[in-house]
Structure 1
């Protein structure tokens, strides 16, 4: 129950649902107990008056006596029916409070998890796969809802019914009550034993479900690769293996439940036998009536479902606990990307890297080593280098997806750690190397970074990214759905749409992380010409492995293995006849060929 204590704040939030649900449960159980007493009175009435009825056989008194007797029985029947109807009404109210409460808690818990996910740093997502994240916010939350809904409802019902029924049974005959409840300690011990088995198997089952979800998500996301390499059968075989593991774990858990419930039924049946045997002795001793025996049998029947539900409730609670442990594992993970002073201000765009080094925490790779760079507001810097030289790491550090291991980064003379994250990133336009588009329209993807962006700006951003002509050729224009991850667009179109999304928000700092790698030279020249106007009066960082992308830069930095090996203007670097000159000549010869 320690893990489930996280849900107490929600139970407090929806306390009136819980209080009213408990009250309705008590009332519904009262209306469930009264009919058993009415049955006792009716049976005792039949027994006590039957001999008197036959005593007046053949007389007019017998007819009148029969009318009174029949009316009394009818009255008892009507009262029992009325009690059943009232019990049904209050059972409906119980579900409308406790089950509705569980749906509210499920809604709030999913929102809490999703909101927390978005606060976690990029390093967290490098360590955990998407399928596991999805399983915890869907399957695990569903298991938890079974605890705060049906499990609590049946638990309250069990407690109130036991208190009401057992207290009344003791008042009628303590000896018979003792024998009726005698199997319950055995039941408690069996539940204690089974709980540990259920807990372990539930955890294994949830872990396997996450594995299946991850595999399916990756298969569908990479369906192009799967089909291109004709791996459908192999993927199906892997899925069958994963599903078999899940099935076997599910059957193992089901086996425990299947053996548990019949055991409970046997114990309840034993209670009925004891009622008849001990109750018969009490009747012969004159301490009970046959109506009492019938009443006790009805009480045992009333306790049958709650006792059976106890096993189910215990199982659901254990599953919920296992799921909540998994949920808490992520909820207790805190981001290390926090603002020290929460500074909110309009930035001008002056950037300075002061002896910055960075080591990726999950791999230990030192991507940047003693990196120093100063860019004035409004200037454009190009960072060139081969694959793995640390170019994209610079972009990640500048957008504060990571914090430097050593040194510091300043914007307008203020350390990056002091800025409010939302304020800083809202003034930065970032075009990542790995383009990601949402399953929405082109217009919505362009306007993604800005709320309430006018259509005229969306249109202009598409023109500046040299995408407008392609868009108007689509049958639905800007309303064209791009599909999952932009699958309906070509690689170049996706990159240009990503550029349009970045420049549409009119950022103070524009970061282009190798965003022109999928376009041809002519399209690149068109985009760069448009960007020349856009980059005026704003700080721009162009990251690329192509020298042609650096021609708009005020100065150029060449990286190799995380270190700056050359920097200067295009002319200065050519005159030095170093790495930049070598890279320039190779790419120039390639274009000529």
Structure 2
């Protein structure tokens, strides 16, 4: 009997060691699957209807929107916010205050636990979130670049727009384009942010969301961004929602919002003036 057990363990030794060795890979795969599940991806279809955006929208509203993460350790809301077409809105707040979560909710990448998102007073159809998402182009803090410059319907981007904004972003000397593709994406983080903004503008969406875009720019170009580029985007008819800590430039915003401990408020009057003097003090 002892010999049988010994032989059994001997033959099982290699498979058991392989199983134990594979455990880190399996755990990494589980983490990856959990992250994919958070996207709430649509089930596979052979074809999808082309999303119809809201071309003539005037207001976008978050009404009593709440959200919490699965671990329940952090929640935001209820959030109430109305954006008007063509506005330039800045959002400030400390680390962990909920700014990026609000950005995800606003762009439709996170679905609210409760509350509603409305366009011109009409609630969004939960089964067609892509229609709403098509309003937005976003540049988040973690930038992932693709080498193709695409227009609003997936076609090649407008060459005139690309050439103009390459000059404005001071990247014409740095980027080499070949048949609508970027030949080399070996760039600094600040340069990658500029290319990401170019890609966002090439999509010709109505709303541009920028998550601390200027944080990786040098002081000279940061000033160029706030004083020149943002007004140019507004002249193009864009609605711009920018997360920012650059209090020297808050006066350029039409409205100034603040996230604090998951709650959203608009700063006006003396509060706005105080934030414009020292935003760091408010986030302490």
Q: TM bucket by the smaller chain?
A: 0.7 to 0.9
Q: State the 1:470 CA deviation.
A: 3.7
Alpha carbons 2:175, 2:182 under 8 Å: kept: no
* 1:334-345 pair list within 5 angstroms: 336=40, 344-345=52-53
The CA RMSD over aligned residues, in Å, is 3.9
1:481 matched to 2:184? The reply is: yes
2: CA distance, partners of 1:550 / 1:336: 36
Residue 585 (structure 1) aligns with: 277
Residue 133 (structure 2) aligns with: 425
1: CA distance, partners of 2:232 / 2:201: 11
Query: Please, which of 155, 167, 172 is the counterpart of residue 468 of structure 1?
Result: 172
Alpha carbons 1:338, 1:417 under 8 Å: kept: no
Alpha carbons 1:514, 1:542 under 8 Å: kept: yes
TM-score by length of 2: 0.73
Q: CA 1:508–1:401 in 2, change beyond 3 Å: closer, same or farther?
A: same
2: CA distance, partners of 1:435 / 1:365: 26
2: CA distance, partners of 1:455 / 1:207: 52
2: CA distance, partners of 1:543 / 1:366: 20
1:532 partner SS: helix
**Larger RCO: 1 or 2 (CA < 8 Å, sep 6+):** 2
Alpha carbons 1:382, 1:550 under 8 Å: kept: yes
1:543 matched to 2:246? The reply is: no
2: CA distance, partners of 1:402 / 1:508: 19
* 1:201-212 pair list within 5 angstroms: 201=15, 205=19, 208=22, 211=25
* 1:80-119 pair list within 5 angstroms: none
Alpha carbons 2:85, 2:239 under 8 Å: kept: yes
Residue 533 (structure 1) aligns with: 232
2: CA distance, partners of 1:334 / 1:565: 27
Q: State the 1:541 CA deviation.
A: 1.0
2: CA distance, partners of 1:481 / 1:516: 22
2: CA distance, partners of 1:420 / 1:346: 13
Q: CA 1:425–1:524 in 2, change beyond 3 Å: closer, same or farther?
A: same
* 1:76-475 pair list within 5 angstroms: 201=15, 205=19, 208=22, 211=25, 336=40, 344-347=52-55, 348=57, 350-361=59-70, 363-418=71-126, 420-438=128-146, 440=147, 444=148, 446-447=149-150, 450-471=154-175
2: CA distance, partners of 1:423 / 1:469: 37
1:408 partner SS: strand
Query: Could you say which structure has the higher strand fraction?
Result: 2
Deviation digits for residues 240-298 of structure 1, max 9, x if unmatched?
xxxxxxxxxxxxxxxxxxxxxxxxxxxxxxxxxxxxxxxxxxxxxxxxxxxxxxxxxxx
Q: Point out 4+ residue stretches in structure 1 off by more than 4 angstroms.
A: 201-204, 212-215, 333-339
Larger Rg: 1
TM-score by length of 1: 0.38
Query: Please, which of 549, 557, 561 is the counterpart of residue 261 of structure 2?
Result: 561
1: CA distance, partners of 2:275 / 2:233: 27
In the alignment, structure 1 segments of 5+ residues that lack a partner are 1-193, 216-325, 483-487
1:535 partner SS: helix
2: CA distance, partners of 1:428 / 1:494: 19
2:105 partner SS: helix
Q: CA 1:466–1:213 in 2, change beyond 3 Å: closer, same or farther?
A: farther
1:516 partner SS: helix
Residue 317 (structure 1) aligns with: none
